[in-house]
Copies of this chain bind each other. A is one copy, B any other.
Amino acid sequence: MEDGTFSSPGYCADTGPGAFDVKNWDAREDCEVRQILDRIADKWSLLVIALLDERSMRFTELRREIDGISQRMLARTLRHLERDGLVKRTVHPVVPPRVDYELTPLGASLHSTIKALVSWTEEHQSQIAAARTAYDAAASAGTAAADAGADSGSVRAG
């Protein structure tokens, strides 16, 4: 079905705890889609997934690769990812603690899907940039233009 792959615009299939349409979006606790979206969209998750998709890495390795991340956020991100079954955490009981992180099949699967979105962005980033420039320009010059054109089409509606 190319018209609508899923049930409702609210993006919560009735297979979940609460079948709903848009109104129920407010009860986001019940919405898996929202959860996943929030997860992959948060500041660092996507990057961690991308990194681990290439090879398994240790905590410090990830931290060094990402560099801008704080240990707090890396730990938190990894824990979230682990909890969702996207990342597997392996603790090696050695004297200097060693922990390896790797993508689970589920995580790899998600990454594949995300790639489509990333590809889209790369293909359309120029259009978006152009739109932003246009919007920005209109915001400066558009005020006077809108004012001038206003009276030409004013009609009553009440």
Whether B131 lies near A9 (C-beta < 8 A) is no
The tally of residues in A whose CB lies under 8 Å from a CB in B reads 77
Q: For A74, list chain B residues within 8 Å (CB).
A: none
Interface string of A79-98 (1 = CB under 8 A from B): 00011111000010111101
- Interface of A, secondary structure class, is helix
Q: Which of B46, B85, B157 contacts A132 (CB 8 A)?
A: B85
Whether A157 lies near B125 (C-beta < 8 A) is no
Whether B124 lies near A106 (C-beta < 8 A) is yes
Judged by a CB distance under 8 angstroms, whether A36 is at the interface is yes
Judged by a CB distance under 8 angstroms, whether A155 is at the interface is yes
Whether A6 lies near B122 (C-beta < 8 A) is yes
